[in-house]
Amino acid sequence: MNEEQRLSTGQVNTDLANKEEKDYSQYFQTVYTPPSLKKARRRGKEEVSYFDDFEIEERFEGMGNGRKFYIRTYGCQMNEHDTEVMAGIFTALGYEPTTTVDDANIILLNTCAIRENAENKVFGELGHLKPLKQRNPDILIGVCGCMSQQESVVNKILQTYDQVDMVFGTHNIHRLPNIIHEAYMSKEMVLEVWSKEGDIIENLPKKRLGNIKAWVNIMYGCDKFCTYCIVPFTRGKERSRRPEDIIQEVRHLAAQGYQEITLLGQNVNAYGKDFDDLNYRLADLMADLRRIDIPRVRFTTSHPWDFDDELIEVLAKGGNLVEHIHLPVQSGSSSILKIMGRAYTRESYLELVGKIRKAIPNVALTTDIIVGFPNETDEQFEETMTLYEEVGFEMAYTYIYSPRDGTPAEKMKDNIPMEVKKERLQRLNNLVNEYAAEAMKQFEGQVVEVLVEGESKRNDEVLSGYTRKSKLVNFKAPKSVIGKLVNVKITEAKTWSLDGEFLHVVEKDEVLN
């Protein structure tokens, strides 16, 4: 870490910041670090630095003794995993976790910027926290995650949300002890958001939220720059963790008894492209992880762009590599895909699906779809509907396009009324439900392998877990099977879950289905 970075913890005087001016830096000396869109856009100019020397500085030890932290997480699995890292740092500082804001000494909102409604939820929550802060000014409130990486968000917080004590970015998580320390020392807002291409820090502490399933980062950032997407600006450039670090982490998780891992990256298919000393890609990593004694390995999220034949070949070997692939398509229209900057066409996506299906006949495919991209015509939307049917996805996350600050699509003029977009979403969702129900129906009468996660959220008499294809299964069984793989005979399919009868715990060498 260089000296410039070390110095960059900013203290922002909120009285001054409340003024209308856009460039707040004039009020502060050298230590104010707001996000910069211009810098976030840069690629390939900065070297990726690897660090494995993270440690809690002596002066911060015990800082959290007698204090509690609360983190609310919004957004994707990457954010959930970042929360586990921050929880690890808090724990190393002596803080204890709490599940309510009322007895927390520090409250962090780990935010998502993917769509406007994700941001609005956070601003709403900040509003709710204001009375708490007024009652107890000693509480520290922080905003971190993807929203903090955006200039417009940070300016809004500076202007309107003086209950916030600290704002820090996705590249600043390892600086948490220093940031909290600054926030305790000054009564002014601490702002530290680096708009850099990104580092890799290997030895950050983690406090995982479960002991059955675990997230494992394999890469960070994104270089695809889809025209609608904020992620390349909030998460830096594509950079891969070294295979030996990943393999060691997975081995360690297996030894601790974890049953399933999900490899995480904004775009996992680009794994390894950035190694200049090593020819090692996602297929190689999956081949190595196949040999580790952990029952299930998944990955998310895939981009069709870099989905190569070698990967398909290794996935087809099965074993602990599950037969479920989440493959976001976004649109079924080649012309929309082109202006989205997705670098594939309807035809090439279908070709890829054909190849995957040929190699893995019982694969479950799920996807993400955006409707109402600027100027999407009725015909183009219909192409999304027909593509959905042609592939026969088993599930999809569907969204109305939401313009994001600084992205190319934000500047596109859009003449499609919101009403039309909502109708399209409704029609698509009906189709999604229909196909989901159909996919579920096929399991009736079958025996499936379920990783039991715990009591059902709705009924504590019932246990629930997921199949290899990520289907939720509810069944009655002794609580002692929680955390184990079991076989369940499906008795009834609903649209989003399956009911079944517990048969038995799966023996280690039993063939997985």
Annotated binding site for [4Fe-4S] cluster: 76, 112, 146, 222, 226, 229
Q: How far is the CB of 328 from ligand SF4 (least distance, A)?
A: 12
Determine how β-strand 239-240 pairs with β-strand 324-326: unpaired
- 368 near ligand 5AD, rule: CB under 6 A: yes
Burial of 305 (0-12, 13-18, 19+ CB in 10 A): middle
What does the chain come to in residues?
513
- 230 near ligand SF4, rule: CB under 6 A: yes
Which of 5, 155, 402, 495 is in the footprint of ligand 5AD by CB under 6 A?
402
Measure the CA–CA gap between 218 and 262, rounded to whole angstroms. 10
The total of other beta-carbon atoms located within 10 Å of residue 18's CB is 11
The total of other beta-carbon atoms located within 10 Å of residue 68's CB is 17
Which of 239, 281, 346, 404 is in the footprint of ligand 5AD by CB under 6 A?
404
Tell me which residues in 316-355 interact with ligand 5AD (CB under 6 A). 328, 330
Q: Which is nearer to ligand SF4, 226 or 297 (CB)?
A: 226
Measure the CA–CA gap between 199 and 221, rounded to whole angstroms. 10
> How many residues interact with ligand SF4 (rule CB under 6 A)?
13
Q: Which is nearer to ligand 5AD, 330 or 487 (CB)?
A: 330
Q: Look up residue 307 and give its amino acid.
A: F
User: 101 to each of 72, 104, 105, 109, how far by Cα in Å?
Assistant: 9, 5, 8, 11
Instruction: Please choose, out of 109-117, 127-135, 269-277, 392-400, the segment that lies near ligand SF4 by the rule CB under 6 A.
Output: 109-117
Which of 12, 106, 112, 114 is in the footprint of ligand 5AD by CB under 6 A?
114
What's phi and psi for 142, nearest 5 deg?
-125, 150
Q: How far is the CB of 401 from ligand 5AD (least distance, A)?
A: 5
Measure the CA–CA gap between 157 and 199, rounded to whole angstroms. 26
What is the SS3 assignment for 140? strand
From residue 163 to residue 192, the character string flagging contacts with ligand SF4 as x (rule: CB under 6 A) and all else as - is ------------------------------
Q: Would you say 395 and 429 are in contact if contact means Cβ atoms under 8 Å apart? A: no
Q: How far is the CB of 328 from ligand 5AD (least distance, A)?
A: 4
- Answer with the entry of ligand SF4, ligand 5AD, none that 113 interacts with (C-beta below 5 to 8 A by kind): ligand SF4
Token pair for residue 332?
């079924």
Q: Which of 285, 340, 335, 342 is nearest to 315 (CA)?
A: 285
Q: Which is nearer to ligand 5AD, 63 or 226 (CB)?
A: 226
- 74 near ligand 5AD, rule: CB under 6 A: no
- Answer with the entry of ligand 5AD, ligand SF4, none that 401 interacts with (C-beta below 5 to 8 A by kind): ligand 5AD
Measure the CA–CA gap between 339 and 111, rounded to whole angstroms. 28
Q: Would you say 305 and 273 are in contact if contact means Cβ atoms under 8 Å apart? A: no
- Answer with the entry of ligand SF4, ligand 5AD, none that 370 interacts with (C-beta below 5 to 8 A by kind): ligand 5AD
Q: Would you say 104 and 72 are in contact if contact means Cβ atoms under 8 Å apart? A: no
Q: How far is the CB of 485 from ligand SF4 (least distance, A)?
A: 29
- 160 near ligand 5AD, rule: CB under 6 A: no
Q: Which is nearer to ligand 5AD, 233 or 258 (CB)?
A: 233
Measure the CA–CA gap between 225 and 408, rounded to whole angstroms. 9
Q: Which of 178, 205, 184, 217 is nearest to 76 (CA)?
A: 217
Measure the CA–CA gap between 134 and 501, rounded to whole angstroms. 53
Instruction: Please choose, out of 24-32, 130-138, 156-164, 397-405, the segment that lies near ligand 5AD by the rule CB under 6 A.
Output: 397-405
Rg of the chain (C-alpha set): 24
Q: How far is the CB of 309 from ligand 5AD (least distance, A)?
A: 23
- 228 near ligand 5AD, rule: CB under 6 A: yes
Q: Which is nearer to ligand 5AD, 288 or 368 (CB)?
A: 368
Instruction: Please choose, out of 47-55, 75-83, 123-131, 201-209, the segment that lies near ligand SF4 by the rule CB under 6 A.
Output: 75-83
Measure the CA–CA gap between 127 and 121, rounded to whole angstroms. 10
Interface residue list for ligand 5AD (CB under 6 A): 114-115, 228-229, 328, 330, 368, 370, 399, 401-402, 404
Interface residue list for ligand SF4 (CB under 6 A): 75-76, 78-79, 112-114, 145-146, 230-231, 234-235
